[in-house]
Amino acid sequence: VLCCAAFLAVAIARGAVSTVPPNINASKLAGNEDESTIGIDPVNTSKIAIVSNNDSASTIFRAYSTNGGTTWTTGSIAGACCDGQMTFDSFGNLFLVYLTAGPSYVVTLVVSTDGGATFGAPTALSSTGADQPSVAAGAGSVWVDWNNGTGMVARGASVTGLGVMGAFGATQSIPSATGSFGDIAVGPTGKVTVTYQDNLGGQGPENIYVNTDADGLGAGGFGARVTATSTNVGSFDFIPAQSGRSIDAEANLAYDRTGGAHNGRLYLVYTDETPNESDDTNILVRRSDDNGATWSAAVKVNDDATTRSQFLPHISLDQTTGKIAVTWEDSRNDGGVVGSGSTDAAANNDAMYYGAVSGNGGLTFGPNFQISAGTSNAVDAAAPVDYGDYAWSDYYGGHLHPVWSDNSNSTGDNPNGTLHQFDQYTADVTGSPTAVAILAFTARRTAAGVVVRWSVPVGGWAAGFNVYRERSGSWSKVNRRLIPARSAQLANDYRFVDSRPGHATRYRLQVVGIDGTRAWRGVVAAAD
C-alpha cells in the first residue's frame, strides 16, 4: 500500500480541473464580437489592443488595456465592416488594417501611437472589392497584403520612429499568387514573405504557397511562387464546429528577428485534414531557413489522441526569446456528452481555445495547454461567420496574450448569458514559472511517508510541479510524471506523498512553466 501513495496523489491531481489561466472578458457587449486580432506594445507591455468584427456592417469592435489586459476600455471604429488585423512594431506603432463598409470594401490602414487608445486618419491602400488584408512590421518597414479580386498583392512603407513613416510604395503584383486567405511577415533584414492558399472554393485539397520579396522596400519585386505544402483543408471546408462559415487552412507566418540562434527562420502554421473530409483537422508547422525557398517536414502541434477538429491556428514569435506560440480552436474534449468539453449531445461541434509553445526553433512543441476555461458553440452564437476566419495571439516578453470568440460565459459577465452571442475573451498566458508564487511549502514525516504540501494563490499558472528529495547530499526527483497544476482561477493546495523517503533530509519544489522552462522554488527540511 505504501508503495502507491505517491502515485495516488499524482492521480488525484491529474483528475482535477485542468490548469487554465484566468480568463478575462474584454468586450462584455450584447451581440456578437468575433474574428479577432490582438497586439502587445513591445515598448510598454502593459498596453494591449484588440479588434474584432461585431454584428454591425459599418463598425468594428475595438478595446485597449493599459494594465496588461486586466481591464479593458471598449469602443468601435466607424466606417469598417470587418477583417481587422493588427501588429505593433518595435517603436510602439500599432498598425491596424480592415475593410471599409460595403459595397466598397477598401483595404484601409489606421495607426495608433498610444497603444490603441486613439487612431489617426485612415489611409486607403486598395481599390474597391478587396478581401482579407494582413499587416506585418519589422526592420524599419510596414507591409500590407490582400486579395484584390483575382489574387494577392502587397505594398510597403518605411517606418523610422513612433508616428514617423514614409508614403506607401506602389501596389506590387505577386507572381502566380491567384489565391487568398493569406498572411505576410517581415524578416530581420527587411525581406517580406506572403502566404496564401488556392481558394478553389471547395473542401480541398488545395496548396499553400509563399512568395518572397528579397529586398523588401527596395526596387526588386516578389519572387516566384513556391509550394510550401498541400492541405486537405479547402478554402471553404465545413466542419461540425464551424458548420455555417466553414474554415480555410488559415496559413499564417512568423519570422524570427531575434538575432539569436534561429535569426531569419520563417515559420508557417496551417490546418490539414487526415483523411480528407474526415473532420479530423490538425495544426501543423513547417519552418524554412532560406526565406521560403525550401520547407521542413510538417511538425504536428496538437497532441491529443482524438480524431476531432483543431482549427483557426495562429502563430506568434516572442522576439525577446525566439520562442514560438501556436494557439487554436480545439474540439478534442467534445465527446458528445454534456459537461466538460461538450454543450450538447453531439460530438466534435464545440470548441475550447488551446495553445502550445516551442522553445527549440519549431523542431517540437511542448504539451498543449487549455486556455479557455469554458466550452463554446458557434451555432448557439448565431454569428454570421461563426468564430470567424481567425482568432489570434501575440507573444512578447514571455507573455502570451490570445484573443478568441467565446460564448461559454465562464466569466459570468456576457450580457447575452451562456451559449448565446460571443464576447471577446483573453488571458495572460505567462510562461515564466518564476511568476508563480509558492506559499506554505512544507514537508512532514508521517506513517505513510513524507507529506509535501504547497499552495499557489489565484493567478499562479504553470504546467505543473516536480518534487525533489535530498539524501546524503544529493538531490533526485520523486514524482515520475509531472504533477499538473490546476486552474489559475482558484487558489490551490497541493499535497504529494513521498512514500519511500528513506533518510531524506530536505525537499524542494520545481515549477515547470507552460513553455517548458523550470524554476526552483523553496527548500524545506523534512520535519517530524
> For Ca ion, which stretch binds (CB under 5 A), given 142-150, 185-193, 349-357, 449-457?
349-357
Looking at beta carbons only, is 318 or 329 nearer to Ca ion?
329
Contact call for residue 346 and Ca ion (CB under 5 A): yes
Angle at 60 between CA 58 and CA 62, to 5 degrees: 150
Please state, in angstroms and as integers, the Cα–Cα distance from residue 369 to each residue in 186, 255, 481, following that order. 28, 23, 16
Contact call for residue 246 and Ca ion (CB under 5 A): no
Find the binder of Ca ion among 280, 380, 386, 428 (CB under 5 A): 280
DSSP label of 273: E
Find the binder of Ca ion among 74, 123, 276, 296 (CB under 5 A): 276
Contact call for residue 237 and Ca ion (CB under 5 A): yes
Looking at beta carbons only, is 114 or 344 nearer to Ca ion?
344
Find the binder of Ca ion among 19, 85, 232, 252 (CB under 5 A): 232
Count the Cβ atoms, other than its own, within 10 Å of residue 492. Answer: 19
Find the binder of Ca ion among 41, 334, 389, 515 (CB under 5 A): 334
Looking at beta carbons only, is 204 or 362 nearer to Ca ion?
204
Grid coordinates belonging to 352? 475550447
Looking at beta carbons only, is 93 or 180 nearer to Ca ion?
180
CA-nearest of 245, 265, 507 to 390 is: 245
Contact call for residue 338 and Ca ion (CB under 5 A): no
Q: According to CB under 5 A, which residues from 147 to 166 bind Ca ion?
A: none
CA-nearest of 38, 49, 80, 22 to 393 is: 38
Looking at beta carbons only, is 258 or 376 nearer to Ca ion?
376
Contact call for residue 34 and Ca ion (CB under 5 A): no
- For 197, the 3-state DSSP assignment is strand
Contact call for residue 342 and Ca ion (CB under 5 A): yes
Q: How many Cα atoms are found within 13 Å in the side-chain-facing hemisphere of 433?
A: 20
Contact call for residue 183 and Ca ion (CB under 5 A): no
Looking at beta carbons only, is 33 or 256 nearer to Ca ion?
33
**Number of residues lying near Ca ion (CB under 5 A):** 18
DSSP string, 349-366: --BEEEEEEESSTTS---
Question: Rounded to an integer, what distance in angstroms lies between the CA atom of residue 49 and that of residue 63?
Answer: 6
Asked whether the bond before 275 is cis by omega within 30 degrees of 0, the reply is yes
Q: In the bound complex, what is the minimum distance in angstroms from residue 202's beta carbon to Ca ion?
A: 8
Q: According to CB under 5 A, which residues from 399 to 458 bind Ca ion?
A: 421, 423
Q: Which residues contact 114 (CB under 8 A, 6 or more apart)?
A: none
Which letter, b or e, does each residue of 162-197 get, where b requires 16 or more Cβ atoms within 10 Å of its Cβ? eeebeebbebbebeebbbbbbbbbbbbebbbbbbbb
Find the binder of Ca ion among 36, 195, 197, 203 (CB under 5 A): 203
3-state helix, strand, coil in the chain (%, to 5): 5, 45, 50
> For Ca ion, which stretch binds (CB under 5 A), given 56-64, 69-77, 203-211, 258-266?
203-211
Q: Which residues contact 345 (CB under 8 A, 6 or more apart)?
A: 336, 337, 338
Looking at beta carbons only, is 83 or 237 nearer to Ca ion?
237
What are phi and psi for residue 254, nearest 5 degrees?
-145, 135
Find the binder of Ca ion among 89, 250, 273, 279 (CB under 5 A): 273
Looking at beta carbons only, is 126 or 342 nearer to Ca ion?
342
Angle at 313 between CA 416 and CA 59, to 5 degrees: 45
> For Ca ion, which stretch binds (CB under 5 A), given 36-44, 330-338, 352-360, 387-395?
330-338
Looking at beta carbons only, is 232 or 291 nearer to Ca ion?
232
Q: In the bound complex, what is the minimum distance in angstroms from residue 343's beta carbon to Ca ion?
A: 6
Grid coordinates belonging to 489? 482561477
Q: In the bound complex, what is the minimum distance in angstroms from residue 181's beta carbon to Ca ion?
A: 14
Looking at beta carbons only, is 200 or 523 nearer to Ca ion?
200
Q: Which residues bind Ca ion (CB under 5 A)?
A: 29, 203-204, 232, 237, 273, 276, 280, 282, 310, 334, 342, 344, 346, 349-350, 421, 423
